[in-house]
Amino acid sequence: MSARLEAQFAFLNEADRLKSVMRATTLCDGSRRENSGEHSWHLALYALVLADQAAPGVDISRVIRMLLIHDLVEIDVGDVPIHSADGKAHSSTSVQEAESRAADRIFGLLPDDLAQDLRALWDEFEAAETPDAVFAKSLDRVQPVIANLQSGGGTWIEYNVTAEQLESRVGVKIAKGAPRLWDWVREKTRGYFR
Amino acid sequence: MSARLEAQFAFLNEADRLKSVMRATTLCDGSRRENSGEHSWHLALYALVLADQAAPGVDISRVIRMLLIHDLVEIDVGDVPIHSADGKAHSSTSVQEAESRAADRIFGLLPDDLAQDLRALWDEFEAAETPDAVFAKSLDRVQPVIANLQSGGGTWIEYNVTAEQLESRVGVKIAKGAPRLWDWVREKTRGYFR
């Protein structure tokens, strides 16, 4: 049992470093940038509270688990802001390859059974094809929109984002998993982009 | 639907403030104190990874939900360190009453059904009587021990904590929900308190 616990804590202690990975998005009060650890907590809480926005059959407990681990690869790769490099960096092949190597290393710290389970869950999130992953991705995209609305523009100002770019880079993915939510949030953004 | 979403986001935006509530415990690398938002994320990850330490019948998905919301009352009350005021502040009547008022206010931001569900879950955590709550409390107590071990003493130095105080304030509660885990962690702490 001791070797198993050593491996579990090798992973949990490594995960602590996610609290030092900074995102482009700020807290709602604009006081500082958000880190990826607290972001992951907030997203899991989004899933808990916005469960009624998910498609029938979505398993919210699995969505929460996905969101708890979805950003761990940023310990090695850092956060790649969605609007950086004219919106092209986030889904680039080089970033995806680096994230896959990070997943090998970080989930590989765990005992084999847990490593396989959590790696499969992360792969499912990244592929964004199952209903659970599609809803998790929608929440991951909507939370920075809300933070920007709360803080007076946030990363939209920093990256000169237009309403059309918001729709194509963010809105489409929110709408895929949570269409009514995007309808409601998009209305809120009109005041900003008008 | 719009009024419901307004209430859901009144809660989610208020919850953002937990990222600005600072705890006594530092990050594992000792670089700064931890905030209660990222702490809540780390604990939920503990539950996911240490599920095999729970008693039979514990529902890990419920434990994760408890841990996601367990510290929200600190938005109003702040974090009360376990070793502060010679170990007496944390469970004082005045702190418990303030936390209960905070729960009224914060969960009260939600639509009624969600407010009742999450308040009941928080009450269950606080009462620490059900197997799910007992395990959640064990994780909440063990994570600062691990952080102190990683950072070279942390709050044990700050509050002059002895091995006996660690056992009575912390160890007993870890052992209640995760006895094998406390056996293993206590061995690690011997090097520090020797």
State residue A121's pLDDT score. Answer: 98
Each residue of B58-112: pLDDT tens digit?
999 999 999 999 999 999 999 999 888 888 888 889 999 999 999 999 999 999 9
Summarize pLDDT for B102-146 with one digit per residue, the tens.
999 999 999 999 999 999 999 999 999 999 999 999 999 999 999
Q: What is the mean pLDDT of each run of 10 residues along chain A (194 residues)?
A: 94 98 96 98 98 98 98 96 85 93 98 98 98 98 96 90 94 97 96 82
Nearest to A68 among B16, B48, B180 (CB): B48
How many structural domains compose chain B? 1
Query: In this predicted structure, what is the pLDDT of residue A91?
Result: 81
A5 with B61: Cβ contact below 8 A: no
* B chain contacts of residue A3, beta-carbon cutoff 8 Å: none
Contact A29 B44 (CB under 8 A): no
Residues of A in contact with B132 (CB under 8 A): none
* Of residues A79, A85, A78, the one with CA closest to residue A165: A85
Asked if B68 and A65 come within 8 Å (Cβ–Cβ), the reply is no
Instruction: Please tell me if residue A80 touches chain B, with a CB cutoff of 8 Å.
Output: no
Dmax over CA atoms of chain B, in Å, equals 60
CB contacts of A15 in chain B (<8 Å) are 42, 45
Q: What is the pLDDT of residue A35?
A: 98
pLDDT of residue B158 exceeding 90: no
Give pLDDT, residue B57.
Answer: 96
**Residue-number span of the structural domain to which A165 is assigned:** 2-193
CA distance B16 to chain A (A): 7
Please check whether residue B20 touches A, CB under 8 A.
Answer: yes
Q: How high is the mean pLDDT of chain B?
A: 95
Report the CATH number at residue B133.
1.10.3210.10
Residue B151: the pLDDT is 94
Would you say residue B53 has pLDDT above 80?
Answer: yes
Q: Kindly report the nearest CA distance between residue B112 and chain A, in angstroms.
A: 12
Backbone angles phi, psi at A27, to 5 degrees: -60, 165
pLDDT value of position A163: 93
Q: Inform me whether the C-beta atom of residue A65 falls under 8 Å from chain B C-beta atoms.
A: yes
The answer to whether residue A15 neighbours chain B at the CB level (below 8 Å) is: yes
What is the predicted pLDDT for the residue at A1? 67
Residues in B touching A186 (Cβ below 8 Å) = none
pLDDT given at position A23: 97
Asked whether residue B1 carries a pLDDT value surpassing 70, the answer given is no
